Structure 1
Amino acid sequence: MPDLARGPRIAIIGGGIGGLAAGAFLHRAGLTATIYEQAPALTEVGAGLVVAPNAVRLLRRLDVMEQFLGRALQLDWGWEFRRWADGTVLSVEQLSGVCEELYGESTYVMHRADLLDTVKTAVPGEWIRLGSRCTGVDAAPDGALLHFADGSRAEADIVIGADGVHSVIRSAMTEPTPPEYSGICAFRTIVPADVAPEFALRPAQTLWLGPGRHFVHYPIAGGSAVNVVAFAPAGDYTDESWSATATIEEFHSEFAGWDPRVTDLITAGGVPGRWALLDRAPLRQWTQGRITLLGDAAHPMFPFFAQGAAQSIEDAAVLARCLAASVDDPEQALKQYEAARIHRTARLQQVSHSRSDINHLPDGPQQQARDATLAGSDPLVGNGWIYGYDADSVVLP
């Protein structure tokens, strides 16, 4: 059993945004943890992300806003939907001022690596163990035994699996089920500002909708670059790795005939990354004894609501609250955490999944009805259940 005078031995597997956020909120709650990261350095692959008010308010409470604002770019406009062929504006919504009035925080965009570095500043450096690849976990009534690739082992009273979509911890505690093939793949690239069209440097998140595809761009890195991510039919492509690449020609072929502003961005971005979106149904349970999951390990979701990182941060805040409130009963604390989070994250998984069908309608009556709906919609208000959520004040079950 743990020495409760010192607190339980908490092991966090994974040093990505979710794992570091868990460490940061545990530190804020007066608990200690060890973060095991398989890479030799803390880095984030990928490109840009949107940081919505539900995540920003939590980052503010970690006292990292100075670092955050030094790397983030506030969006004045969000969800600017355009027609694929000619850029006709279908819908646009002002964020600046309105977002703050509704939710108390702004919406920002930034590079994933910059968000990782921001959260890292709230974690004691001595908690982080690099080059530690966890290969398995053995559960015990009063904790768990972790196994690492170098043959070493570590005991823990509580294990948090924050090791992503291919989670070793999830595989050890849940029934293994292969992901389903979604038929969608994503291309991504970063375009330096000096070669990007002026149109793409505006502080807006622009989404171009077309048959079977959509194309997204927004500025990042303080406006010094443009993040591009686009979704298209995958064919027989099933590689889920963010390190895989495609050719510019393959990227162009998927968006041939689109507005020249889209194809110009593809050309300016150089060699794109490419990965398949694999579909995973929401888990019915992600806690077992003293082992639990967090972030993509628990609830991987399509990126169409830009909530993956935000949900990891919310998980971390709620988990720390639960553990701090029931430090002498870790199993109960982890059950409470799961109960507080599982329905919200499952709902986000489901709405993110359904968005691909809406975005990719072929031209015709359904597409015209969608565009009319977009013109009269108010996503900032309509998605209040997402952005108004406060992980620090939500009533725990």
Structure 2
Amino acid sequence: MHRQALIVGGGIGGLCAAICLRLTGWDVQVFEQAPEITEIGAGLQISPNGVKILEHIGVMERLDSAIFEPEAIEIRMGVSGRPILYLPMKGVAAQRWGARYLQVHRADLITALSARLDALQPGAMQTGCPVRGYAPCKDGAEVILVNGQRIQADLVIGADGIHSRIRHQMLGPDTPRFTGNYAWRALVPAAQLGALAPPPSGCIWAGPKKHAVTTYVRGGALVNFVGIVEQRTWREESWSRTGDRQEALADFDGWAPPLLAILEQAEVLHKWALFDRAPLPKWQDGHVILLGDAAHPMLPSMAQGAVQSLEDGYHLARALGAAVGPDIAAACARHYAERIDRSSRVQRVSAQNLQLFHKSSLLAQLMAYAPIWLAGQLTPSLVHGRSDWLYGAPVPPLNI
């Protein structure tokens, strides 16, 4: 049984989908518009629901030297550094949810996924290959490249990000919602920070109308910083745009010394506006389906954007099973029905977390953080349990 899938976008979701489909017998081709895979991106937190998928598809062993396993998830006050929550994760995550909680650089994850795909089907990834759109055809669809070439297959997957051309064609023109926030991103060698290095955790630093997150990547060699600031006018979205150091320091003026040390010592600072999108009424047009940020872009305040893309690719392959011909469209419809509530919930809670971390008045902070502190002190297992629906979701094996 020969089935072919064309994947538009060589990011985390597109590569995961390609690997999963290849493992279940499909021939795959990935079209990535960038001329080469680069270091663009930042640190990611991969929760147990994503780690289980990476283990199932043979990618984890390619990441061993690049991952960092944090001791805990923490919340601290951004100015004073005073702890609000310390939730142990090392050892606890694997016992409770069946896999570790890990941190990794996006580029390292992309490299590992690309290598795994190349081992399964050499040459499946084509870089420097922008796609204009798609067209339906009998029992399939075709991808239309910018150079005019048309390639037909049984399935087309739009994994081309928040500004997806495939989504635009499928659902018509609209624009992502500006969230009223922009983000700073930086990487600094941990050794360079010395005693000012942040704790070896996934640490959220909360404060009035802004927050920061520090993590470790490259086996703990690099500290990753993301700082999110409320501001209604600046809307430029580019992961590669550099920002001004003095502006970043002004945004976090008076905050905890580890954060200021990162901003002072980072070789490069990046700044970009944050956008999301309301849940879409559909992800599918016949034999064409969306996944990842093309289907459900979300804010980074649950650290689930990459993981939900992994889930999309994995569970799409499971939904397709042995489907051929018209059954492929039916399988895509089932996949949407099975995924939409979960991805929409993650989008919603991500937006709520952003508000939680940005409390401005002392009264608002006390009302929000005192119960979290008390729960962490008295019933940490119950706090862990609030993530059971997300981290503990079952990951049945692929039908290989």
Give the TM-score normalised by structure 2.
0.93
Distance 1:43 1:18, change over 3 A: farther
Q: Residues 5-16 of structure 1: matches in 2 within 5 Å?
A: 5-7=1-3, 9-16=4-11
1:364 to 1:201, Cα distance in 2 relative to 1, 3 A: closer
Corresponding residue of 1:88: 82
Deviations 1:148-203 (A, max 9, x none): 12232212221100111111100010132222221100000101123224353543
Conserved in 1, the CA contact under 8 Å of 2:94 and 2:100? yes
Aligned to 1:335: 333
Q: Secondary structure at the match of 1:222?
A: helix
Aligned-partner SS, 1:270: coil
RMSD: 1.6
Letter in 2 for 1:310: V
Unaligned runs of 5+ in 1: none
The yes-or-no answer on 1:387 pairing with 2:391 is yes
Residues 257-278 of structure 1: CA deviation (Å, up to 9, x unaligned): 2122221111011331111112
Q: Residue 232 of structure 1: CA displacement?
A: 0.5
Decide which of 126, 132, 135 is 1:138's aligned counterpart.
135
Question: Per the alignment, in what secondary structure is the counterpart of residue 29 of structure 2?
Answer: strand
Matched, 1:26 2:30: no
1:189 to 186, 189, 195: 186
Pair 389,283 (structure 1): closer, same or farther in 2 beyond 3 Å:
same
Contact 1:16 1:42 in 2 (8 A): no
Residue identity opposite 2:9 in structure 1:
G
Measured after TM superposition, the shift of residue 241 of structure 1 is 1.2
1:42 corresponds to 2:37:
yes
**Contact 2:56 2:397 (8 Å CA) reproduced:** no
Cα distance change on mapping 1:186 and 1:179 into 2, 3 Å = same
Label 1:198 to 1:115 Cα distance change in 2 as closer, same or farther (>3 A): farther
Report the residue type matching 1:236 in the other structure.
Answer: T
1: distance between equivalents of 2:31 and 2:39?
A: 15
Question: Once the 2 structures are TM-superposed, how far is the Cα of residue 19 of structure 1 from its aligned partner?
Answer: 0.6
1:100 aligns with 2:108: no
The aligned counterpart of 1:373 is 371
Between the aligned partners of 1:338 and 1:115, the Cα distance in structure 2 is 26
Q: Give the Å deviation of 1:84.
A: 1.8
What's the counterpart of residue 116 of structure 2?
122
Matches within 5 A, 1:245-256: 245-256=242-253
Distance in 2 (CA, whole Å) between partners of 1:262 and 1:304 is 18
Would you say the 8 A contact 1:161–1:294 is kept in 2? yes
Which of these residues, 210, 217, 239, is aligned with residue 214 of structure 2? 217
Question: 1:219 offset after TM fit, Å?
Answer: 1.3
Q: Judge which range, 152-161 or 246-255, deviates more.
A: 152-161
Unaligned runs of 5+ in 2: none
Paired with 1:265 and 1:297, the residues of 2 have a C-alpha distance of 32
- 1:345–1:44 distance in 2 versus 1, CA, 3 Å: farther
Q: Is the 8 A contact 2:162 2:176 kept in 1?
A: no
- Secondary structure of 1:12's counterpart equals strand
More divergent stretch after superposition (247-256 vs 59-68): 59-68
1:198–1:141 distance in 2 versus 1, CA, 3 Å: farther
| Residue 392 (structure 1) shift | 2.5
Contact 2:52 2:395 in 1 (8 A): no
Residues in 2 aligned to 1:325 and 1:369: alpha-carbon distance in whole angstroms? 52
Q: 257, 268, 271: which one pairs with 1:271?
A: 268
Q: Distance in 2 between matches of 1:300 and 1:70?
A: 29
Cα offset for 1:141?
4.3
1:246 alignment partner, SS class: coil
What's the CA shift string for 1:107-157, capped at 9, x where partnerless?
110100111111223212321122110011122343223221223221222
Amino acid at match of 2:134: V
